[in-house]
A = this chain, B = another copy of it.
Amino acid sequence: MDPITVAIICGGIGIGIAGFMARYVLRQDQGSDKIRQISAAIKEGALAFLRREYRVLAIFVTAVAIALGMIPLLGWWVSLVFVLGAIASAMAGFIGMNIAIRANSRTAAATQKSLNDGLKVSFRSGAVMGMCVVGIGILSLSALYLTFGNSPDFLKIIPAFGFGASSVAIFARIGGGIFTKAADTGADIVGKVEKSIPEDDPRNAAVIADFVGDNVGDVAGMGADLFESYVSSIIATMALGMVAVFSINLGESLVPDISTAWFLPMLVAAGGIIASIIGIFAVRVGGKAAKMGALLNALRRGTVIASILTAVFAFLAVYFLNVNIGVFWAILAGLTAGVLIGESTNYFTSYSYKPTLQISNAAQTGAGTLITRGFANGLMSTLPPILLVVGTMLIAHHFAGIYGIAIAGVGMLATLGIQDATDAYGPVADNAGGIAEMAGLPPEVRDRTDALDALGNTTAATGKGFAIGAAGLTALALLLAYTQAVGIKFSDISLLDPKVIGGIFLGAMIPAVFCAMTLNAVGKTSFSIVNEVRRQFREIKGLMEGRAKPEYGKCVDICTKAAINQMIGPGILTIAAPIVVGLILGPVALGGFLIGAVACGFILAVTFANAGGSWDNAKKWIETGAYGGKGSEAHKAAVIGDMVGDPMKDTSGPSLNILIKLMAIVSLVLAPVLAGFGGLI
């Protein structure tokens, strides 16, 4: 059978499974009227935000599309494919959120029956998003191949799809991230810290905004993000196809022809879809009275099965396409490193291990020492992923040249379908818990959703490890593809060239400035939220006593406006910086710039994700009763730590994954322009 047909069939199966899961979710009971009301308010806010966000993005995408089309060396086909990439990415986020905002009430209702029922509804809604992301990804890349595969411009056109997807992803991640964290910390500061009312208490005016934030940030933003990761890794490998054929780094060619070099990543990804589906169906626990440990084991079993099957499918693809076996070792190295990075993330962020327990311990001497310890933990946690990424890169390169580096990234992301499902169900469970609290459901329901949420935190941490590891490899592959496309030879791009060194320094600065902008945006917006919630407590009579209702819409509105206004700056920075460096310092300096950005961005992304994760779980550990439990001085210190970590782990950190790839993709797309241009100085 034609490999492209296989890919299309696998993608179709993915979409089919998504439809099946969606049907299951939508058939579930929506719960009481109260639950429905709350869920409707969340839905309204989330959809309103997405409408406004996408309107702004439409303007941006149109402007860039016109610019691309008018550059003679690129043209309107590039422009069109860019738009398609943007639409596909936006769609992945939209579909994921659409099911999530329907699954939250249903999960709350199902959890009233049992933990297992709750898991089933929330996990299946996550699977809808996971399967949509990978299905749309494979199908749209197949369609592009069928349309442009024989065009001499294929390698100019295909990166434009990644550019479109990444552009939408970065805005969605930043905008959603600002929204969710500003609402979350704003609600916590007034609710938990000042008024000492529980989380998600209906008297808190920011509580609906907080729930909306989970959906627009942790679901829609993440969906676009993961879609971008998935297609970028495949595109990076395709872009290095020539290298595989002409075996620039190795003695013999790796693939029989260029088409095979293009098919292979798609087939590996397609195999990963089938493996993920089997893994997803393997996630089940026996009986109604399942315990947390059993749930975690069930999820783990699913991902392990998916990983092993992906390796098997990848081997079959390599074998039947008559590809050099070295390429399989590269894929296997990526797949293995992904699992190990996930485990190391878990070690540094779970309260089952020493690092996070020590952070909880430091809470006894206050927020200052707790924050120092958590930040140190985040910095230390860069050690294993860096060693694993460097090791994978060297192994992959040894066996399969620079094509191997790219396809190792595909291997790492091949199980995205199930990873994404385990990631995306967390926010649904979180929302369900909030709805349970607001709707006044019995406390055991809240306990169950908390258990689901805690489990979601663990799997989310693992997922973040995967995402950043794969981002590192993909960004390197895109950078290498850029140097090929722009015609930089081995001896051209020397570390002894001051422009290259200057590029590295400038590149290292961009992630720092980007984080500064996004952290500030969250800081500013949560400041506004705090003042609004305080104002409502002050001005609305009877609110504290529960006799009046807060104006939830006001907080949703503040977050919406602020998030959309403040996503623009950092987004534009990401796209403009490589263009400016390329035009002023030239294409060689731009190569240095990209590597500086990848290295420093990787360090910051891992630090931010894991420091944030460990503060969150250090707080959770105290909430289990350690050091005085909830309400103690230690707990207050831990709440402050969690607030500091929130924008780091959910706004700046994940956006950095996109940033390092997007800057490389921009460079790759503009390579034909930059190739003929030496730089102004």
Contacts and interface: CB of A to CB of B under 8 A. Distances in A.
Contacts of A527: 362, 364-365, 369
A647 B374 CA distance: 13
Copies in the complex: 2
A386 interface: yes
A143 interface: no
A170 B233 CA distance: 42
A483 B501 CA distance: 14
A603 B508 contact: yes
B509 A366 contact: no
30 contacts: A189-B369, A364-B527, A365-B530, A366-B643, A371-B371, A371-B640, A372-B523, A372-B647, A373-B519, A373-B523, A375-B519, A376-B515, A380-B513, A380-B520, A382-B512, A382-B513, A389-B505, A390-B502, A394-B499, A394-B502, A402-B496, A402-B498, A405-B498, A491-B494, A504-B504, A505-B599, A505-B602, A508-B599, A599-B600, A600-B603
A497 B501 contact: no
A382 B509 contact: yes
Interface in A360-397: 362, 364-369, 371-373, 375-380, 382-383, 386-387, 389-390, 393-394, 397
A512 B379 contact: yes
A366 B185 CA distance: 11
A523 B369 contact: yes
B368 A509 contact: no
Contact of A379 (B405, B519, B599): B519
A591 interface: yes
A372 B644 contact: yes
A: contact size bracket: 35 or more
A379 B513 contact: yes
Contacts of A402: 496, 498
Given A394-B681, A494-B491, A366 B193 contact: yes
A607 interface: yes
A589 to B, nearest CB: 10
A226 interface: no
A459 interface: no
B494 A640 contact: no
A71 interface: no
Given A368-B640, A369-B185, A389-B505, A376 B523 contact: yes
Contact of A393 (B380, B386, B501, B647): B501
